[in-house]
Amino acid sequence: MVVGVCRLSMIHQAGNSLKAKRGVLNRIKSRVANKFNVSIAEIGSNDLWRRIELGLAVAGNDGPHVNSQLDKVQNFIASLALAEIVDSQIEIIHFNDGESEFALGDEEEEGFEDGEAIDAGDIRGDEE
């Protein structure tokens, strides 16, 4: 599994109140959510009128694809021209690149054959 996170720092030049900032934030978040399958949230500078800090997260199974998705979202936000992006940081995190130790069908597992039904008690560890 690969997780990509992005931190965007933006300036809303026309911001003259927190209400105006919230309007810009809501437009950005709703448009991104409608177009992309990413998580997006305000992560800082909550009480500053002109400064917007957003966090984005994408999960997938291919690092270059996750990075590409974050780049596309960043370019989309910039194209909205609701606020100017002044800084961005992207980090790609790889989790458990090898085989899962709990994958069904592994030769190391005992008591399970391919296609065999699994009793719910076996999963929970309940023993009779």
pLDDT tens digit sequence for 19-58: 888 999 999 999 999 999 899 999 988 788 889 999 999 9
Please check whether residue 55 lies inside any domain of the structure.
Answer: yes
**Domain containing residue 67:** 2-94
Output b/e per residue, 71-83; b: 16+ Cβ within 10 A.
eebbeebeeeebb
Residues pairing with 4 in the sheet: 58, 92
Please check whether residue 108 lies inside any domain of the structure.
Answer: no
The percent of residues in the chain predicted with pLDDT above 90, rounded, is 51
Please check whether residue 126 lies inside any domain of the structure.
Answer: no
Please check whether residue 100 lies inside any domain of the structure.
Answer: no
Kindly state the helix (H) or strand (E) to which residue 122 belongs, with its residue range.
Answer: helix 120-124
What pLDDT, in 10s, does the model give residues 99-114? 544 444 444 444 444 4
Tell whether pTM > 0.75. no
The residue type at 118: I
Please check whether residue 24 lies inside any domain of the structure.
Answer: yes
CA angle 51, 88, 81 (to 5 degrees): 60
d(CA 76, CA 70): 10
> At residue 77, does pLDDT exceed 90?
yes
CATH number for the domain that contains residue 40: 3.30.70.1120
Query: For the chain, what is the domain count?
Result: 1
Backbone angles phi, psi at 59, to 5 degrees: -120, 145
- CA-based torsion, 28, 34, 36, 37: positive or negative: positive
Please check whether residue 101 lies inside any domain of the structure.
Answer: no
Please check whether residue 109 lies inside any domain of the structure.
Answer: no
Please check whether residue 104 lies inside any domain of the structure.
Answer: no
- The set of long-range contacts for 37-46, using a CB threshold of 8 Å and a minimum separation of 24, is 38/69, 38/70, 38/73, 40/73, 43/7
